[in-house]
Amino acid sequence: MKENPKHIRISEYNYPLPDERIAKFPLPVRDQSKLLIYRHGEVSEDVFTSLPEYLPAESLMIFNNTKVIQARLHFRKETGALIEVFCLEPIQPNDYVLNFQQTEHAAWLCMVGNLKKWKNGPLCREMTVKGFPITLTATRGECRGTSHWIDFRWDNPEVTFADILEVFGELPIPPYLNRDTEESDKETYQTVYSKIKGSVAAPTAGLHFTPRVLDALTEKGIDLEELTLHVGAGTFKPVKSEEIEGHEMHTEYISVSRSIIKKLIDHDACAIAVGTTSVRTLESLYHIGVTLANNPEATEEQLHVKQWQPYETECDVRPVVALQKILGYLDRHGMEALHTSTQIIIAPGYDYKIVKAMVTNFHQPQSTLLLLVSAFVKGNWHTIYDYALGHDFRFLSYGDSSLLIP
């Protein structure tokens, strides 16, 4: 049984991050960002376009192809008060694709800004979408933790909820940028390979990739594949508790095709992950496979990876076998893709099963993402972050990148 990280003190994962080191905007050319290379304890630096030189040919590289949605909706009350409704995850229907296709009604779990000014009654906003004048109303339902059930209704069957967000929504750039969303963010805060709408934050390690870097990786014989994890607002949620036991991870929704599972098996369950979201998805696959090894008849709900599950169940199933169990599950159910969810927390004490190298940005102090990195580099995160701070690296979402090979 692995050491349980619940009693890790988050204060041990702090470092000084002056505001001027946080990149407020990306570089004009994405792939000209700096690349920190951490290999077996040694640190060096290069430019991101050189990434393919550091990776072994014939390896498998996995990207998260989620697309950031324009999830912030603003309503003005007759009193003049501005209310922000931030769509976090779909409730009715709870499938992203179906929800975006809804006409006339959709329900979401939302965070509400300036909540105290929204006493009762629906919020209304008139707008023109695809040439149609419509009235959008938002009605507040039950409170769920820090979020609310919000029913959206509009009066034109020609207009989908996706259309409304596209026209009326605002891209939710990270709060630590301390600035308003600009038109340029619509392009720069998406990866060049983003496809599947559903995230409220970008998988930012992918922001450095350009078609020429992707082509160079392919030319080297590196197999490039995509999965989907819809990034939740929880990615920005600071750890407020002294020990991480008190921090609840948000549920995030994942979709992994049968062909990727097969390709992972062909690569002996070894992958290079682009971004912490790909890391969480790939490592969750292992624990889903363990669930199926112990219970082949597990339901879709039972495949959800709980926050502390990796530390509380025996994980002696080989990674390739775990993936084969998922393939068998998909075959039995005639499914082309695994659709489930994860709350996995990866922290020191975690034993990585599938990810052998990762590309990732530099994360906030005292964040769960820093815990994930520390677990990967066996606690040696200070070496990496001290180097980055001392060598003019840019931090957080629009900042520079690192390649970590433990």
Q: What is the pLDDT along the chain (406 residues), one digit of tens a residue?
A: 456 799 999 999 999 999 999 999 999 999 999 999 999 999 999 999 999 999 999 999 999 999 999 999 999 998 889 999 999 999 999 899 999 999 999 999 999 999 999 988 999 999 999 999 999 999 999 998 889 999 999 999 999 999 999 999 999 998 889 899 999 999 999 999 999 999 999 999 999 999 999 999 999 999 999 999 999 877 767 788 999 999 999 889 999 999 999 999 999 999 999 999 999 999 999 999 999 999 999 998 899 999 999 999 888 999 999 999 999 999 999 999 999 999 999 999 999 999 999 999 999 999 999 999 999 999 999 999 999 999 999 999 999 999 999 9
Token pair for 14: 């702090």
Q: What is the pLDDT of residue 236?
A: 67
Q: What is the 3-state secondary structure (H, E, C) of 4-51?
A: CHHHCEHHHHCCCCCHHHECCCCCCCHHHCEEEEEECCEEEEEEHHHH
Verify cis geometry, omega within 30 degrees of 0, for the bond prior to 296.
no
Q: What is the pLDDT of residue 167?
A: 92
Three-state DSSP class for residue 55: coil
**CA distance readout (Å), 383 to 124, 342, 370, 377, 398:** 52, 30, 13, 10, 22
Q: What is the pLDDT of residue 1?
A: 43
Distance in angstroms (rounded) separating the CA atoms of residues 250 and 328: 28
Residue with tokens 């890391």: 279
Q: What is the pLDDT of residue 310?
A: 95
Q: What is the pLDDT of residue 313?
A: 84
**CA distance readout (Å), 164 to 125, 128, 161, 389:** 11, 9, 5, 42
Q: What is the pLDDT of residue 2?
A: 53
Contacts of 402 (CB under 8 A, 6+ apart): 35, 36, 37, 38, 359, 360, 361, 362, 384, 388
